Amino acid sequence: MLAGAVGLAALAAIGVGCGSSGESADTTGAEAAISACTGKIGVIAPFAGTEEQDAIQMNWARVSLDNFNREHGTDFEIAPMDSSRGDAQVKRAAQALAADNEVVAVVGPDTSGKVLAVGPILDKADLAYVSPSATNVSLTDGRFKGFYRVVANDSVQAPAIGRLAAEQLKAKKVAILDNPDPYATGLADGVAAYLEKAGVPVTRQRISVDQRDYANVIKKIPADTDAVVLSLSSADAGQRLVRQVKATGREPAFIGGDALFILDAFNPVGAYVTSFTPDLRETTAADDVVRLYKAVFGSLSPFGGPAFGAMQIVATAALASCTDGRASRAKVWEGLPTTTIRESVLGQDIAFTEDHELKDGRFYVYRIGPDDYHFVD
């Protein structure tokens, strides 16, 4: 909750402008007719955890809405819902948001499993929801009518990991480790399919991210394995596993999925990791936003930019839906498919395909150095 007050102060001091945070393509007519607009935008994301990254998405969504209100003269409120305690909690959050007629749209949930949990609830209420980080391919198979995402899905990420292992690293045998989670297993399935098609032998294990000692897992990784793909939902588990493998004297290449892209939590020098956003520090469109973020929250995380963008496109659709100074849930549902943010903080336009995917979304590959990530592809 403190993040909101800090964010407002930093916004006033830094003054993030439209050019830096992306231009709202579909609000020109609405702004000309409306001097102010009210409504609530729900956010389903962690904010009650114990680690800094637990609050990243909620913080970025809050700052994004603060910024949008300042730029557009709107008075949208955030309705924050914690998602750090599992499916039962997020279902209650979705039910509360659905029952509140002032809530016109939702940013989140943050994971694929949570989308599966709340999708039916939000769809039944005709409440559109835009995830900043849920990447499981099946989420856009048509079952959820109100679901959107501002990042590419795992059908894009899996080939990026597969190409790295097979073509750039020339791996002869790859071990894939995943944990029981829709994101982790779905990504592992995609990577395995890519490598098998490329003729690279694959072994696979399903592990627990709560396990402290991975000796039994490491023993099952064939000795001639030269690349290990960590399709895990926990950066801390990935860090433990890499350290324990290296402690045995083995030095395969390690490749982590996007959930491991948290420098403070996963930082084995020489390992590779994917991200669904470019490094915001290298994106000129995000200059002012990055300065703002550093001033408010310190270290960077790729999970922040998409949360900023998801809130921005939801708020843009909400403003365009305004009638008599109030946003409309029904009109946001109707208008979101054609809403666009030009030159967003993600380094590209935010716009949706017919099946609610991010248009032209991609994944980026980085290698971890002694104190930072370095772009590879």
Joined tokens for residue 60: 């970025």
Q: What are phi and psi of 227, to 5 degrees?
A: -150, 135
Query: In which residue are the tokens 């209650």 written?
Result: 92
User: In terms of domains, do 271 and 321 share one?
Assistant: no
User: In terms of domains, do 135 and 10 share one?
Assistant: yes
The Cα–Cα gap between 360 and 188 comes to 22
User: In terms of domains, do 267 and 287 share one?
Assistant: no
How far is C-alpha 70 from the geometric centre of its chain's CA atoms? 25
Q: Write out pLDDT tens, residues 181-198.
A: 999 999 999 999 999 999
Write the CATH number for 45.
Answer: 3.40.50.2300
User: In terms of domains, do 133 and 170 share one?
Assistant: no
Of the three residues 275, 299, 332, the one that is the final residue of a domain is 275
User: In terms of domains, do 7 and 113 share one?
Assistant: yes
User: In terms of domains, do 264 and 177 share one?
Assistant: yes
Alpha carbon separation from 358 to 46, 58, 313, 340 (Å, rounded): 23, 21, 12, 10
CA atoms within 13 Å, Cβ hemisphere of 214? 25
User: In terms of domains, do 17 and 165 share one?
Assistant: no
User: In terms of domains, do 65 and 207 share one?
Assistant: no
Count of structural domains, the chain: 2
The Cα–Cα gap between 358 and 377 comes to 20
How far is C-alpha 366 from the geometric centre of its chain's CA atoms? 17
User: In terms of domains, do 112 and 185 share one?
Assistant: no
For residue 358, being part of any structural domain is answered with: no
pLDDT in tens, the chain (377 residues): 233 333 443 433 333 433 334 555 544 444 444 458 999 999 999 986 645 456 889 988 998 999 899 999 999 999 999 999 889 999 999 999 999 999 999 999 999 999 999 999 999 999 999 999 999 999 999 999 999 999 999 999 999 999 999 999 999 999 999 999 999 999 999 999 999 999 999 999 999 999 999 999 999 999 999 999 999 999 999 999 999 999 999 999 999 999 998 888 899 999 999 998 887 666 665 566 666 666 665 555 677 889 999 999 999 999 999 999 999 999 999 999 999 999 888 888 999 999 999 999 999 999 999 988 888 98
User: In terms of domains, do 142 and 218 share one?
Assistant: no
- The residue range of the domain holding 188 is 154-275
For residue 356, being part of any structural domain is answered with: no
For residue 296, being part of any structural domain is answered with: yes
Instruction: Say how many C-beta atoms besides its own lie within 10 A of residue 323's C-beta.
Output: 12
Pairing of strands 341-342, 253-256: unpaired
For residue 140, being part of any structural domain is answered with: yes
User: In terms of domains, do 54 and 80 share one?
Assistant: yes
The Cα–Cα gap between 218 and 135 comes to 28
For 258, which DSSP code? G
For residue 374, being part of any structural domain is answered with: no
Do the beta carbons of residue 173 and residue 224 sit within 8 Å? yes
Of the three residues 275, 290, 308, the one that is the final residue of a domain is 275
**What is the value of pTM for the model shown?**
0.85
For residue 357, being part of any structural domain is answered with: no
For residue 355, being part of any structural domain is answered with: no
DSSP 314-356: HHHHHHHT-BTTB--HHHHHHHGGG--EET-TTSS-B-B-TTS
Of the three residues 259, 275, 291, the one that is the final residue of a domain is 275
For residue 300, being part of any structural domain is answered with: yes
Do the beta carbons of residue 51 and residue 239 sit within 8 Å? no
User: In terms of domains, do 271 and 285 share one?
Assistant: no
